[in-house]
Amino acid sequence: MQDDVKSPILVHSRVDPERVLHLPAGRFTNGHPLVALVLGVAATVAVFGLAARAPGNVVSQSLTQRGPVPYAIVLFTCWALGILLIKAMKIRAQRKVLAYPITPDGQGFSLSPATVGGVIDEIYRIVDDPRRFVLSNRVMLALSNLRNMQRIGDVRDTLESQAEFDEALAESGYTFLRALIWAIPVLGFIGTVLGLSAAVGAFSSVLAAASEIDQIKPALREVTTGLAVAFETTLQGLLGAMGVHLLMTSVKRSEERFLDDCREYTQRQIVGRLRLFAGEADGA
């Protein structure tokens, strides 16, 4: 009966944060770059919307009255935070697979070509598409190798090589984020240079037109005030980059712990259950 067929415990479209919103999803723990950009733009609009509602606030003035550079700094910062938010949520979703064992408890079960089919069925009972989950994808590759090649050593090699691939893929997810962290303070320095150039240019005009020292003093005060304003963009850039970098470190450590737990899971559920069967010799 169709009604007797149970749906998998973990359905990717229901646990992955991007798929829940019906948006394109990145692979495993990596988010789709366009989704993060959309989140960043939305957060930027919200920040400056709040700033516009409090025009007398010091922070609002710093963001809205210092030229175009603060807008770029806030956008890049929110974009980076969007990447980290998506990645953190995807790590949590991927980690759910670890809660479900795929081999029976107890010492009586041994994993071999004869029993691998039941383990694969158990994987499909847990997840709807093993290729979309880090752990199930790794295990499925190893089990397929065991069923087809029937060599225990190849299973270990497959698990190890796939673990290295998953770690490299996870690391690649931080490449663009690091570029944003580099760009945020650079934008702050650009804002400072623009402010200094404007202040020096205005002071040069005053010097050319003024003939007495009393005319220069008011202009000098305006220049020094402009210099202080110019350095605000550097402060904004440094604060934004520092906050994103600290959060990236936390998320990265969480992902590294998840990948370590996947290694331990495969060691316990797969490698520890392998049995040497007739016809296979060590090193053959």
pTM metric for this prediction: 0.85
Residue 281 lies in a domain: no
> What range defines the domain where residue 101 resides?
2-273
Percent of the chain, pLDDT > 90? 53
**Mean pLDDT, all residues of the chain:** 84
Cβ proximity of 24 and 34 under 8 Å = yes
Q: State the pLDDT at residue 113.
A: 82
Residue 126 lies in a domain: yes
pLDDT digits (tens, 9 = 90+) for 12-52: 999 999 999 888 889 999 998 889 999 999 999 999 999 88
Residue 179 lies in a domain: yes
Q: State the pLDDT at residue 207.
A: 57
Beta-strand (E) ranges in 112-164? none
Residue 284 lies in a domain: no
Residue 123 lies in a domain: yes
Residue 27 lies in a domain: yes
Residue 280 lies in a domain: no
Give the least confident one: 15-19, 121-125, 126-130, 270-274: 270-274
Q: State the pLDDT at residue 66.
A: 75
106, 125, 30, 41 alpha-carbon torsion, rounded to 10°: -140
Q: State the pLDDT at residue 182.
A: 96
The C-alpha atoms of residue 233 and residue 76 are separated, in whole angstroms, by 14
Overall domain count for the chain: 1
| Cβ contacts of 241 within 8 Å, gap of 6 or more | 77, 181, 182, 184, 185
The C-alpha atoms of residue 49 and residue 257 are separated, in whole angstroms, by 38
pLDDT digits (tens, 9 = 90+) for 182-226: 999 999 888 888 777 766 666 666 555 555 556 566 666 666 655
Average pLDDT value for residue range 246-272 = 94
Residue 282 lies in a domain: no
Average pLDDT value for residue range 266-270 = 91
